[in-house]
Amino acid sequence: MRAWQNGRVTTRLQGRLWFGLLVGLAIVASACGSSVSTASPTTALSPTPAVPSELGSRPSATGSPNGPDLVIYAQIERQVQAIRELGARKPVTPVLLDEAGVRDWLTKANAEQTNQAVLANESRLFIHLGLLPAGSSLEQMELDLEAGQVVGFYDPASQGLYLLSDSGGVGPIEKLTFSHEYTHALQDQNFGLAGLATDTPDQGDRDLARTALPEGDATLTMTLWAEENLSLGELLAVAGYSLTGPQADQLAGAPAILRETLTFPYEDGVSFVEGVYEDGGWAAVDRLYANPPDSTSQILHPELYADGVKPVAVSLPAVPASLGSGWKLTMQDTLGELQLRVWLKGENPSSVETAAAASATSDWGGDRIGLYEGPSGAWAVVLYTAWRSAAGATAFSAAAYQRLTTLGGQFRVCGDSTHVNLSIASSESLLPEFIACNPIG
């Protein structure tokens, strides 16, 4: 459900037209004198402010590197090819953008690729779920967050590589960012990023999982490159990014559903890819592109991917005939383990609440969520879920009931040994129309 492509219901980072790097680059802090296996994926890309002023001022316009700088980028290309064990099929010249240039590029891509009506539907769904404040515009919130949290990106459509630049020179941030984005170019040239199919309108969870593959791959490659090629001073300059400043404040203040799905492909993606790399080298990572993950559960629990455990197909009911004319299923998608976890945690959860939400969703097997809308502003949100164990279903039903209680409003939760279904509606009379059972609680 991403504004960067066709907007979908589940995560903020999937289905996008481009693959980028977050402002936070703290992953290289652990690269000083240690192997990547010791890096902590959970802190690998903690969002931090944009390039500090001491690293240079940003240009006021877009441009291309000068001759000497092109030599540096060409050297990084050769180094990344050797580390990633992939050959280039064509050269890639970076385009330098200032902050205004990044926002302009994203705004244009958003205007060309986004279905505003779909995003408006998704805004209403997320508001009903308590994931966004009333009156929120998901489209604008996403655009603002993206523009403030990205230091580089690769666009498979144009095969262009873009860097947020400070003064147009090649400092440690530009070098590191280029190593990440150039890895995306190699991925695209060798595997075809479009083949990941991260733009399916109603498969948001799958899209997010598949986005985590190239981002995790590029983040791992970037870290290995930094270990070998950045000086101690450069590593310290990158590691010196702090959790202060407007960009960090912006990310910290964003709704959890946007913040966590933005960082997921980097933090959890690199952990997933690193495990594959440690077991079978780059050849094993390469094979992932022919058989990419199908759910965030497979990223969060790599053993599920290794064992071939795929999501269970779940279907929503048709609009009940008893509701009469004027009703429609406005939209539907799959939330997946990650987004259900975010939903259960709510905003600003404690460590205990975070652990409880992770536990309550760890046996996720599949789900489907839909927004039904009728005359006079009537609405219902219906979520059907499947679980890999009875204990998992019981844990989620209890957690979902508690979460819905905190939201207020009209709701119903029902379940059996491996399924939990819930509905939220504008009026109590609508609840049994979509879920017929003896409600829990």
Q: Looking at the predicted structure, is the pLDDT value of residue 268 above 90?
A: yes
Q: How confident is the model at residue 18 (pLDDT cuts 50, 70, 90)?
A: low
Q: What is the pLDDT of residue 440?
A: 65
Q: What is the pLDDT of residue 279?
A: 97
Q: Looking at the predicted structure, is the pLDDT value of residue 99 above 50?
A: yes
Task: Please tell me the distance from the alpha carbon of residue 410 to that of residue 430, in angstroms, as a whole number.
Answer: 9
Question: Beta-carbon neighbour count of residue 398 at 10 Å?
Answer: 17
Q: Looking at the predicted structure, is the pLDDT value of residue 179 above 90?
A: yes
Please write the tens of the pLDDT for every residue from 298-335. Answer: 999 999 999 999 999 999 999 999 999 999 999 999 99
Q: How confident is the model at residue 36 (pLDDT cuts 50, 70, 90)?
A: very low
Q: What is the pLDDT of residue 24?
A: 47
Please write the tens of the pLDDT for every residue from 327-377. Answer: 999 999 999 999 999 999 999 999 999 999 999 999 999 999 999 999 999
Q: What is the pLDDT of residue 220?
A: 97
Residue spans of the domains in the chain: they are 19-295, 321-434
Of 323, 281, 309, which Cα lies nearest the Cα of 427?
Answer: 323
The CATH number of 321-434 is: 3.30.565
Query: Are the CB atoms for 149 and 251 separated by under 8 Å?
Result: yes
Task: Please tell me the distance from the alpha carbon of residue 49 to that of residue 71, in angstroms, as a whole number.
Answer: 28
Q: What is the pLDDT of residue 3?
A: 25
Name the most confidently modeled range: 55-59, 69-73, 287-291. Answer: 287-291
What mean pLDDT is reported for the chain?
Answer: 83
- Judged by DSSP in three states, 280 sits in helix
Query: Are the CB atoms for 248 and 304 separated by under 8 Å?
Result: no
- Expressed in angstroms, the distance from the first to the final Cα of the chain is 32
Query: Are the CB atoms for 41 and 240 separated by under 8 Å?
Result: no
Q: How confident is the model at residue 246 (pLDDT cuts 50, 70, 90)?
A: low
| Lowest mean per-residue pLDDT among 37-51, 112-126, 386-400 | 37-51
Query: Are the CB atoms for 127 and 134 separated by under 8 Å?
Result: yes
Helix (H) or strand (E) holding 175: helix 172-191
